[in-house]
């Protein structure tokens, strides 16, 4: 055991966060997201919701202040609404990072984008459009 590492973060996830460099991206994917189909580096976090993982990850990982956006979300298709969990994400991220910029990415472009991210964390989040991409910054 190590001190000050949130218990929710598995050894594989901590290793991944440590392996990422400035500008690399990690996806926290909801339970419906095709994680394995979209990325070769999938870390399982079944049974965990994204807000609690997001909070734990942001205790260790800074967001990229040198990019136009630090966080990306899957844009709801016309007729669908943004999930309530986005407000929770905003509160969690703001508590760690203060102000930040968000990009909305069209659904199919979001899928294509995740094929190029460093890793996908497959979670148990059940909120539709609960997927979130974090861009790693520098200390």
pLDDT digits (tens, 9 = 90+) for 42-63: 999 999 999 999 999 999 999 9
Let me know if 100 is a catalytic residue: no
**Residue 102 and residue 114: Cα distance in Å, rounded?**
16
Counting residues of the chain whose pLDDT is more than 70, the rounded percentage is 100
Counting residues of the chain whose pLDDT is more than 90, the rounded percentage is 99
Express each pLDDT in 16-30 by its tens digit: 999 999 999 999 999
Catalytic residue of the set 12, 96, 100, 111 = 111
Let me know if 22 is a catalytic residue: yes
Express each pLDDT in 104-128 by its tens digit: 999 999 999 999 999 999 999 999 9
Of 42, 39, 30, the closest CA to residue 76 belongs to 30
Catalytic residue of the set 22, 66, 80, 91 = 22
Catalytic residue of the set 24, 30, 55, 64 = 64
Using CA atoms, how far residue 48 sits from 5, 45, 75, 106, 117, in Å, is 16, 6, 23, 25, 21
């Amino acid at each position: 055991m190590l001190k000050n590492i949130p218990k929710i973060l598995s050894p594989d996830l901590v290793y991944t966060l440590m392996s990422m460099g400035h500008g690399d991206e990690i996806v926290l994917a909801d339970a419906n997201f095709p994680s394995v189909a979209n990325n070769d580096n999938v870390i399982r976090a079944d049974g965990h919701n994204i807000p609690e993982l997001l909070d734990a990850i942001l205790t260790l990982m800074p967001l990229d202040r040198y990019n136009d956006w630090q966080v990306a979300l899957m844009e709801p298709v016309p007729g669908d609404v943004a999930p309530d969990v986005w407000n929770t994400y905003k509160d969690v991220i703001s508590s760690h990072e203060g102000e930040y910029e968000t990009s909305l990415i069209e659904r199919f472009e979001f899928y294509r984008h995740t094929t190029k991210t460093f890793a996908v964390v497959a979670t148990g989040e059940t909120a539709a459009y609960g997927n979130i991409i974090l861009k790693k910054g520098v200390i």
